Each structure stands twice: as structure tokens, then as C-alpha cells.
């Protein structure tokens, strides 16, 4: 295919450009996700309709987890590379078989869930009234068909990854979120009596266009040979690679679903408020924790493959330590300013000042676990670098089973704050189990001194947090309690007070961040570098 005409869809990219494109895509996708929640909060606030909409994703997301949908393209890429390195005709047969199996499996599961929607609704929302559960079943039947697009689309996305064509994988989530927003707003203005049905219809529309049609078109433009059949020897390998991901449902993956399920027990608005707060909590998790995990994985995998145990342990320790250096102060600074953050972003339209106050508390409770999120993202990938997928699966399952009663009693005893606390406790428990398992299997050198380093960073955070709180309180006297301008000023004051104090304390007292901070200072100080 050397003479084929290259278009935007089929142009190959190098590693640097690909990383930039996918990084920008993730950032823009998170922005669009926030815009979507902002639009929903503006028109529907934290009411029953928004609760029903967010809960409608529990069953579809579970189907996606069950078939390892989020990891399917990653599982398929190395097998495609091996297949296409040999007989190309046989490689296309393998690809066709993978697409057919994916479509058949998710199609049957989706159909079963669609038919069972009236019975699924009470299971995923036990706290909803019968009327709301009926509404939830109708939302489920609109959203569920999107799953039939995601998994086959992941096969075509894997083919694009194999070809190093990253434009469409970068565009897909943007198209998906844009369709949800546009369909939802269009229905609000065209048929307001339908409520949030427009946002529901946007889900299968976005999945069909962004997650399936675009990858298929790109694959077709780049040369696609497809012959429907189910038999190929490599499909057994696909199952073996995907099985740990299918069975290893951890508290990290299921927390969002538990927030919705047990949030339904906390009264009207509980699910919505928890969802809005979780959306903001995921900002530092995505920017710091997930980025650190993704960045460290290839280095750890290479060191593990070459048998360089000492360098592996040193790299793991450095990755976790430096991530905590960023994650802990960022999350604690946001924790201090949690209420103004939620007020500034969401308080408009149907989202009241009282909703902002309640969601601010939920955000603060969730932010307390960001440090644990950061550690597990890296340690979990360290296990994968060692080709051990079973241990994280067992640790995640154990943490999930232990956490379930916490969600139940938290919801019944404390309401929405109890659910937020249970989620934070579950992630912390999973991280601790994962670290203990690592020390038992591979020794303690990779995580040596981690508790001391985390304590040092946390101690350096406390005085700046207290000072930032006092400064925010002083600034707030010049504004009404519910003022959006006051919220913006408080957030700015918090950051301006917290950041320099934290950096100063780290330079003076904390042993582990001193070296990287001095390196940064050496580069920016006047006269450095000539």
C-alpha cells in the first residue's frame, strides 16, 4: 500500500506527535465531559431527572468492564503486530474473527440487558421510587445500544494503533461527548417535556459516529480486508490476555458505579451531587496519577524485561515519590478550596447555592484519597511490567468485597458524605493491599521509605493549607457567601498562598523533594545557564 493516497484519517504519526495528539485529546475530552455536566447541572441541577440519567450508565458500564472493553484495543495490538508480521491474508482473517467475536459477544449481552431493563433498574437504583425506576428503565433502553458500537469499534481502533494512525483515536472521544451535549441541548429547546432524553439519545449517536464509524472509515481508507467468520487460533490468546482484565474488577474501576448505586439510597439529588464532585476529583487524578502511571509503565517494562532489578526498584521508588510530591499538595490545596470550586463551576440555573455547599463537602472527602489513587496507578502498572496481572486482580477484588459494606452503611448512616467516604476508604484499602502484596512478592526496595516520604510531603502541606484557609476567609468578607466572584477570588487567594509556602517548606525541611526542586531552581534563577 505504498502508493495509497494518504488522507487525514490514514496519515501515520511518529511517537512524539502521537503522544501530543492523544494527550490533547484526553485533555479536550475531559473539558467536554465537564461542559456536559455543567449543561446538565444548569438545566436540571441536582434533582431526580439528573439522578436517573447518571444512574442509567451503571449497567452499560458494567457490560463494558465485563468484556474488558476499555482494554480490548490494547490487548489486540501486539497480536495484530505478530499476525501482520507473517502471512497478511491470515492476519486479516484473525482481525475479522476478532471483530465478529466482539460484535457477537457485546450484541448478545446488550440485547439481554435491553430486554431485562425493567428488572435491572431496581437493582442498580434500590433507593429510587417505582416511578423513577420506570424512568430509569426507559433511559437504559436508549443508552444500552451504544455498547454494541464500543467493542467492535475498539477492534478497528487497535488496527489504527497498529498502523500508527492516531488521528481518529484522538477524535473519537471528542465526537462522542459533543454528540451527547448537542443532542441534549437540542431536545431541551425542541421538546422540553422530554427532560434528559436528549442526552440519552446522544450516547448511541456519539458511539455510532465517534467510536465505530470513524475508525471503520479510517481503516477502510487505509486498506481493509474483512471476511466475516469466527474461527482463528489466535482468538484463544486474545481470551487469555483479556481474562484477567475481565475478572479483575477493582474498587478503582467500580467506584463510579458504587457511587451511583449507593447514592440512590441517599435521597433525591444524592447521585447527581456525588457525580459532579467526582468529576472534579478526577482532574488531579487524571493530570497527575494517570499521567504518571502511563509515563512510568514503558520504562518499568523495559527494565523488567532486561532483568535490571536494582534500576527497576529505583525507578519505581522515584516515580511514586515524585508523583506524591505533586499529587498531595495539589489535592490538599483543592480540598481547602473545594466549596468555592464547586460554586464557581456549577452554581447557575438549576444548581443552587445549597447544592454548591453540599457538593463542596463531597469533593473535599473525595480529594482526600488522591494520593492513594496516585500510588496505585504506578504500583499496579509495576505488576503488569512484571507480567503479573493476577495479583492486582485479587487485590482489587478483595478491596471491593470489603468496601461494599462501607458503601451500604455509609449511605444509610451519613447519606451522600458516607458514600464519598466509603469510596475514598476503598481506594486507600486497595492501595495498601497492593503495596503489601508487592513487598511480599518482589521485596521492599521499590517502595522503601514511601510512608516516610508521604508523611514528609503531608507535613509540608498542612501549614500552607491552614494559611490558605485563613486567607480565603479574610477575602470572603468582601463578598456575599454565594457570590461567584467571591468564589473565584477565594480560589486565586488559596493558590497564591498555598503554593509558595509549600515550596519553601519543601526546600527547607523535606529531604526527598529537595533535589528536584533545587534542580528546577538552578534552571530558573537569574544568570543560570549563561
Q: What percent of the chain has pLDDT over 90?
A: 30
Q: Is the pLDDT of residue 298 over 70?
A: no
Q: CB atoms < 10 A from the CB of 225, how many?
A: 12
Using the Cα atoms of residue 426, residue 427, residue 431 and residue 432 in order, give the sign of their dihedral.
negative
CA–CA dist 145, 139 (Å, integer):
11
In this prediction, residues 172-189 reach a mean pLDDT of 91
Decide: 460 and 510 in contact? Cβ < 8 Å.
yes
Can you tell me whether residue 1 is helix, strand or coil?
A: coil
| Pairwise CA distance, residues 512 & 322, whole Å | 9
Cell triple for 281: 476529583
Cα–Cα distances (Å) from 468 to 103, 322, 478, in that order, read 53, 23, 16
Give the Cα separation of 382 and 435 in Å (integer): 11
Give the integer Cα–Cα distance in Å for 231 and 220: 23
Cα separation of 339 and 528, whole Å? 41
pLDDT at position 79, please? 73
Contact, 142 vs 85, CB < 8 A? no
**What's the confidence (pLDDT) of residue 74?**
61
Q: pLDDT, tens digit, for every residue of 219-238?
A: 888 788 788 877 777 777 77
Confidence check: pLDDT of 525 > 80: no
* Confidence category of residue 421, pLDDT binned at 50, 70, 90: very high
Q: How many residues does the chain have?
A: 530
pLDDT one-digit tens code per residue, 454-476:
888 888 889 999 999 999 999 98
Q: How far is CA 349 from CA 85, 115, 181, in A?
A: 57, 36, 17
Residues of the chain with pLDDT > 70, as a percent, come to 83
Helices 338-346 and 484-508 cross at an angle (nearest 10°) of: 140
Average pLDDT over residues 151-170: 80
Q: Which three cell numbers stand for residue 414?
A: 451519613
What is the DSSP annotation of 236-302? HHHHHHHHHHHH---HHHHHHHHHHHHHGGG-TTHHHHHHHHHHHHHHHIIIIIIHHHHHHHHHHHH
Q: CA–CA separation, 339 vs 337, rounded Å?
A: 6
- The beta strand positions in 147-271, using DSSP E, are none
For residue 102, give the C-alpha cell: 466482539
Task: Give the single-character DSSP code of 85.
Answer: T
Q: How far is CA 35 from CA 57, 142, 285, in A?
A: 18, 22, 18
The pLDDT of residue 514 is 47
For 14-23, 279-288, 322-331, which range has the lowest pLDDT when averaged over its residues? 14-23
450, 456 contact by CB (below 8 A): no
Per-residue pLDDT band at 78 (split at 50, 70, 90): low
> Cα–chain-centroid distance for residue 35?
16
* First and final C-alpha spacing in the chain: 51
Closest Cα to residue 402, out of 436, 383, 425?
A: 425
Q: Among residues 355, 363, 482, which one has the least CA distance to residue 42?
A: 355
Please tell me the distance from the alpha carbon of residue 376 to that of residue 373, in angstroms, as a whole number: 5
Helix (H, G, I), strand (E, B) or coil at 59: helix
CA 150-153-154 angle, to 5 degrees, is 85
C-alpha cell at 254: 467500580
Instruction: Tell me, letter by letter, the H, E, C secondary structure of 145-180.
Output: HHHHHHHHHHHHHHHHHHCCCCHHHHHHHHHHHHHH
Set of cell numbers at residue 256: 463510579
- Are 323 and 373 spatial neighbours (Cβ–Cβ below 8 Å)? no
Q: Which tens digits make up the pLDDT trace of 334-393?
A: 999 999 999 998 988 888 888 888 999 999 999 999 889 888 888 887 887 776 777 887
Q: pLDDT value at position 146?
A: 92
**Residue 201: is its pLDDT beyond 90?**
yes
C-alpha distance from residue 496 to each of 285, 335, 362, 452, 469 (Å): 22, 15, 24, 27, 12
Q: Residue 15 pLDDT > 60, yes or no?
A: no
Q: Are 499 and 468 in contact (CB under 8 A)?
A: no
CA distance 220 to 487: 50
* Residue 293: pLDDT over 90: no
pLDDT tens across 29-60, in order?
777 888 888 889 888 888 888 899 999 988 88
Whether residue 192 contacts residue 43, with contact meaning beta carbons closer than 8 Å, is answered with no
Amino acid at each position: 500500500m505504498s502508493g495509497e493516497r494518504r488522507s487525514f484519517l490514514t496519515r501515520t504519526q511518529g511517537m512524539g506527535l502521537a503522544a501530543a495528539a492523544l494527550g490533547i485529546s484526553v485533555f479536550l475530552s475531559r473539558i467536554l465531559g465537564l461542559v456536559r455536566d455543567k449543561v446538565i447541572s444548569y438545566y436540571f441541577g441536582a434533582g431526580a431527572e439528573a439522578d436517573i440519567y447518571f444512574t442509567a450508565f451503571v449497567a452499560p458500564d458494567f457490560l463494558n468492564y465485563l468484556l474488558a472493553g476499555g482494554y480490548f484495543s490494547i490487548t489486540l495490538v501486539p497480536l495484530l503486530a505478530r499476525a501482520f508480521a507473517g502471512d497478511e491474508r491470515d492476519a486479516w482473517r484473525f482481525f475479522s474473527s476478532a471483530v465478529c467475536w466482539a460484535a457477537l459477544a457485546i450484541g448478545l449481552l446488550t440485547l439481554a440487558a435491553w430486554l431485562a431493563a425493567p428488572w435491572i433498574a431496581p437493582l442498580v437504583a434500590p433507593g429510587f421510587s417505582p416511578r423513577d425506576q420506570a424512568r430509569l428503565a426507559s433511559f437504559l433502553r436508549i443508552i444500552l445500544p451504544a455498547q454494541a458500537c464500543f467493542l467492535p469499534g475498539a477492534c478497528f481502533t487497535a488496527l489504527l494503533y497498529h498502523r500508527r494512525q492516531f488521528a481518529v483515536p484522538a477524535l473519537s472521544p471528542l465526537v462522542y461527548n459533543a454528540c451527547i451535549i448537542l443532542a441534549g441541548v437540542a431536545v431541551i429547546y425542541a421538546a422540553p417535556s422530554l427532560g434528559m432524553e436528549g442526552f440519552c439519545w446522544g450516547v448511541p449517536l456519539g458511539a455510532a459516529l465517534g467510536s465505530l464509524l470513524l475508525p471503520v472509515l479510517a481503516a477502510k481508507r487505509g486498506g481493509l480486508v474483512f471476511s466475516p467468520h469466527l474461527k482463528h487460533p489466535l482468538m484463544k490468546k486474545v481470551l487469555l490476555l483479556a481474562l484477567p482484565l475481565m475478572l479483575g474488577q477493582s474498587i478503582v474501576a467500580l467506584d463510579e458505579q458504587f457511587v451511583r448505586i449507593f447514592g440512590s439510597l441517599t435521597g433525591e439529588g444524592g447521585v447527581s451531587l456525588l457525580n459532579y464532585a467526582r468529576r472534579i476529583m478526577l482532574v488531579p487524578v487524571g493530570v497527575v496519577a494517570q499521567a504518571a502511571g502511563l509515563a512510568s509503565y514503558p520504562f518499568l517494562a523495559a527494565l523488567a524485561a532486561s532483568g535490571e532489578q536494582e534500576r527497576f526498584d529505583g525507578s519505581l521508588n522515584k516515580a511514586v515519590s515524585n508523583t506524591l510530591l505533586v499529587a498531595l499538595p495539589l489535592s490538599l490545596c483543592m480540598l481547602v478550596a473545594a466549596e468555592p470550586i464547586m460554586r464557581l463551576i456549577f452554581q447557575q440555573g438549576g444548581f443552587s447555592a445549597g447544592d454548591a455547599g453540599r457538593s463542596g463537602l463531597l469533593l473535599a472527602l473525595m480529594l482526600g484519597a488522591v494520593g492513594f489513587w496516585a500510588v496505585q496507578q504506578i504500583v499496579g502498572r509495576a505488576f503488569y511490567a512484571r507480567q503479573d496481572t493476577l495479583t492486582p486482580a485479587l487485590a482489587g477484588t478483595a478491596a471491593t468485597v470489603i468496601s461494599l459494606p462501607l458503601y451500604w452503611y455509609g449511605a444509610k448512616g451519613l447519606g451522600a458524605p458516607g458514600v464519598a467516604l466509603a469510596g475514598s476508604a476503598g481506594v486507600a484499602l486497595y492501595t495498601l493491599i497492593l503495596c503489601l502484596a508487592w513487598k511480599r512478592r518482589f521485596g521492599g526496595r521499590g517502595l522503601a521509605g514511601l510512608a516516610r516520604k508521604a508523611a514528609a510531603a503531608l507535613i509540608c502541606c498542612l501549614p500552607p493549607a491552614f494559611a490558605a484557609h485563613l486567607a480565603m476567609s479574610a477575602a470572603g468578607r468582601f463578598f456575599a457567601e454565594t457570590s461567584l466572584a467571591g468564589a473565584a477570588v477565594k480560589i486565586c487567594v488559596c493558590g497564591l498562598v498555598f503554593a509558595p509556602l509549600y515550596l519553601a517548606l519543601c526546600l527547607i525541611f523535606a529531604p526527598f523533594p529537595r533535589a528536584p526542586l533545587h534542580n528546577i531552581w538552578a534552571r530558573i534563577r537569574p544568570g543560570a545557564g549563561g
